[in-house]
Amino acid sequence: MSLYDLTMAEAAARLKSGDISAVELTESCLARIGETEGALNAYVTVTGEEALEAAAAAGKELAAGRVRGPMHGIPVCVKDLCDMTGLATTASSKVRHDHMADSDAAVVARLKDAGAVIVGKTHTHEFAYGISTPTTRNPWNTDCIPGGSSGGTAASVAARGCFAGIGTDTGGSIRIPAALCGLVGLKPTYGRVSRAGVTSLSWSLDHVGPLARTVEDAANMLGVLAGYDARDPGSVDLPVPDYTAGMNDGIAGLRLGRPTNFYFDGMDDEARGLVEAALAALQAAGAEIVPVELPLAKTYMAVEFGLCLPEASAYHEKELRTRADLYGEDVRTFLEAGELIPATDYIRALRVREQIKQGWAALMAPGGVDAIVAPTVPAAAARVDRDMFTWPDGEEETTTNAYVRHSCPANVTGLPSITVPCGFTAAGLPVGFQTIGRPYAEADIVRIARSYEATVDWSARAPDPR
């Protein structure tokens, strides 16, 4: 086993004991990036020299017994929406090629304060406005998309180029690539993690969170990232718990809602079977699987796009007037479409979102279910040249619509959601299922996800995209 094959928790334990050094660990990851980057193109920039300097500093502290926490000396990557001092924040766009950061985003600063070693900045779908990350390939099959918009982060973490990474999630952009690349992706409650210094797509839907190989690693990373920040108007001032404290307590007696509508309406049969098997495993672990009907389900996609399109267009208004030719065609089309949405429609979307949030709150009120369990994606990773799915009933759906449909309810409601791998298709592509919980109940969904993860070995599988 190479050092990069360790989980983050395993690597942290060996660093703490002195069995390995942070420099050795970082060198292992940088070598792996060198082996796989030609096939994946996950990185905008690899910060090898800076990473080795940070690793050396971390190693001295660890050797002196000054352990900052579970990420001290751990190599990670950062999505290139996040500012890092002295580096360009390109958002994988020609529009931002000259946008140099003079300070760190809040999440980058928190990683550095925790002693993490940042090995580079990863590609996103341009300005996070898409579900494929077209510059990057899926490490399980390089003819397929890695998912978006955090596809670069997902591809690198899955290929063992680093142990975990930062993603953002506006319509599923942590959970979609995590599911398509066989990872754990954790979208926290809206306001739990600061977005200061992170390029926005849609301010009322944007979330920042971790992608990792295991539930424990994602939970530990969230513990580093979470916390109040006055620079983010959406930030919530609440204590940050240890998200791993009750992780292994089991789920006996929990009531988990399985939607009877919306999530299972359009799905690939193979993906459906893997998700159903995961729900059966949760039931075998002691949870009660309760059928639930999701409220106002026909409005979810309309509200997601009714909010995202005009908010994104407002953010890009100046550049759209002065640099429109530098945008990719798909993103420019979305931005131009957002300018055509009347303010009255935007207000209606805001009002309906509040009704949706109230409906979901009622589902998970005392006496209701403790969380919702559902597919993360309706199918495994699409080929890079595929833009439509055809479902078993003959219905067709665009890939964008299909992937966003399964993930956007947690963005519209702002509720926390975690995806974990639940198996592989016959073609060897991973699929995930997600658990959506009550506000700020990340510890609860971590416990549910860990209960399932403990029964399988999906996280031990690794792709070899060289």
Catalytic residues: 79, 149, 173
Residue 432 near residue 422, CB atoms below 8 Å:
yes
DSSP string for residues in 411-450: HHH---EEEEEEEE-TTS-EEEEEEE-STT-HHHHHHHHH
Strand 288-292 to 255-259 pairing:
parallel
Burial-class residue 100 by CB neighbours within 10 Å (0-12, 13-18, 19+): exposed
Q: Which has the closest alpha carbon to 425: 267, 273, 266?
A: 273
Contacts of 159 (CB under 8 A, 6+ apart): 32, 36, 40, 42, 139, 462, 463, 465
Tokens read off for 204: 């009322």
As a dihedral over the C-alpha atoms of residue 176, residue 177, residue 179, residue 180, rounded to 10 degrees, the angle is 110
Helices (H), 171-268: 175-181, 215-225
Residue 162 to residues 45, 115, 216, 324, Cα–Cα distance (Å): 14, 15, 16, 35
Q: Count the helices and strands in the chain (H runs, E runs).
A: 14, 13
φ/ψ of residue 398, rounded to 5: -65, 150
Tell me if 15 sits within 8 A of 72, measured CB to CB: yes
Phi, psi torsion values for 409, nearest 5 degrees = -55, -35
Is residue 379 left, alpha or beta, with left meaning phi > 0 and alpha meaning psi from -120 to 50?
Answer: beta
Reduce the DSSP state of residue 131 to 3 states and report it: coil
3-state secondary structure 204-230: CCCEEEEEECCHHHHHHHHHHHECCCC
153/236 Cα distance (integer angstroms) = 26
* Cβ atoms of 104 and 47 closer than 8 Å: no
Q: Is the dihedral of CA 55, 22, 158, 449 positive or negative?
A: negative
Q: For residues 285-319, b (16+ Cβ closer than 10 Å) or e, as one string?
A: bebebbebebbbbebbbebbbbbbbbbbbebbeeb
Q: Exposure string (b/e) for 356-368, b if CB count within 10 Å is 16 or more?
A: bbeebeebbeeee
Give Cβ neighbours of residue 188 (< 8 Å, ≥ 6 apart).
207, 208, 209, 222, 225, 226, 416, 442
